[in-house]
Amino acid sequence: MHRLRRLGDPYVVWMATLILLPTVFLVLLSFSDLSFFRPGGFTLTLSQLRVFGSPIVRRSLSNSFLFASGVSVASFLIGYPVAYLLTTLRESTKRILMAILILPLWTNMLVRITAWERIFSQNSIFSDVFGFAIPILGTAGAVWIGLLAMYLPFMILPLFSVLDKMDKRLIEAAKDLGANDVQTFLRVVLPLSASGIVSGFIMTFLPSLTAFALPETLGWRNIPMIGMEIQKQFILKGFEADAINQGAVISLSIMAFSVLSFLLIAKVDKEGETLL
């Protein structure tokens, strides 16, 4: 057993190098005046927190939470019926449809974003084949549709996982006791799928919240979001004083929110059956 345990040592080193050390460095940048380009002496300070007083950062946070909430709710309204329908199909049909659902996730996200950019452009496949275009690039609608299409599978998959494992005899028992379809859904199916709902919301909310490539490409930077603001602090304004430190403190706040979200998943889904 001791010999087998040593086989995990490379993974510990890998995680410490690529996860632990960057996180420690991020915390250090967030709460000090350490310069990324001029390493040396530094003092601890909370002055970087003033970035949250910036109007553009507050607007970016507001937009991000608004879009992430809307995409999560829409994904639930679309994904729950789809997931439930999948559980009622034959195993062969179910496997085929699940493969079709998962298949786009194997494609690089930038390729899928570029595909949506072409669809929403003036000269797209719609204008060539159907004679009309959907020129909504640079609008909130393009960003919203792109986020929904990108992260909808992350709502359907955990919901399907829970609903497919549900004991169907409970539904039959509820109907035998006189419950109609609506009562059965509200009192039996919905409560039993709560862990999948929570996981699905978090799995769609978090990537939508931190997206930057999609809103930058489909929104033409007209809709500022927090992921784009972090990118700007690190890349576009990286040589300015405190820019990287302020980007680090924004990143750390989003990271803390993500950790709390996954702790919530662990609490409502102790067996981990809905985690992707």
Q: 80-135: per-residue pLDDT in tens?
A: 999 999 998 999 999 999 999 999 889 899 999 999 998 888 887 777 777 778 88
Nearest-angstrom CA–CA distance, 60 and 49: 16
Q: 213-235: per-residue pLDDT in tens?
A: 999 999 988 999 999 999 888 88
Q: Smallest Cα–Cα separation from 110: which of 214, 220, 219? A: 214
Rg of the chain taking only CA atoms, in angstroms: 23
- Is residue 261 within 8 A of residue 149, CB to CB? The reply is no
Q: Which sign does the torsion angle of CA 26, 28, 33, 36 carry?
A: negative
Q: Smallest Cα–Cα separation from 98: which of 21, 178, 153, 36? A: 153
Contacts of 64 by beta carbon, 8 Å cutoff, 6+ apart: 208, 209, 210, 225, 226, 227
- Three-state DSSP string of 242-275: CHHHHHHHHHHHHHHHHHHHHHHHHHHCCCCCCC
Average the pLDDT over 224-252 and give the result: 86
Q: What percent of the chain has pLDDT over 90?
A: 41
Model pLDDT, residue 73: 96
- Is residue 193 within 8 A of residue 162, CB to CB? The reply is yes
Domain map (residue ranges) of the chain: 54-268
Model pLDDT, residue 269: 67
Location of structure tokens 């980007």 = 247
Considering the domain 54-268 in this protein, what is its CATH number?
A: 1.10.3720.10
Pure H helices in 177-220: 181-184, 190-192, 194-210, 213-218
Q: Smallest Cα–Cα separation from 248: which of 14, 17, 32? A: 32
Location of structure tokens 């992921």 = 227
Q: 9-13, 140-144, 147-151 — which is least confidently predicted?
A: 9-13
Q: 75-79, 86-90, 156-160, 235-239 — which is least confidently predicted?
A: 235-239
Q: Smallest Cα–Cα separation from 196: which of 141, 155, 148, 243? A: 155
Structure token digits, residue 57: 């950062």
Structure token digits, residue 68: 């992430």
Location of structure tokens 């959907």 = 134
Model pLDDT, residue 276: 47
Computed over every residue of the chain, the mean pLDDT equals 87
The answer, yes or no, to whether residue 266 has pLDDT greater than 90, is: no
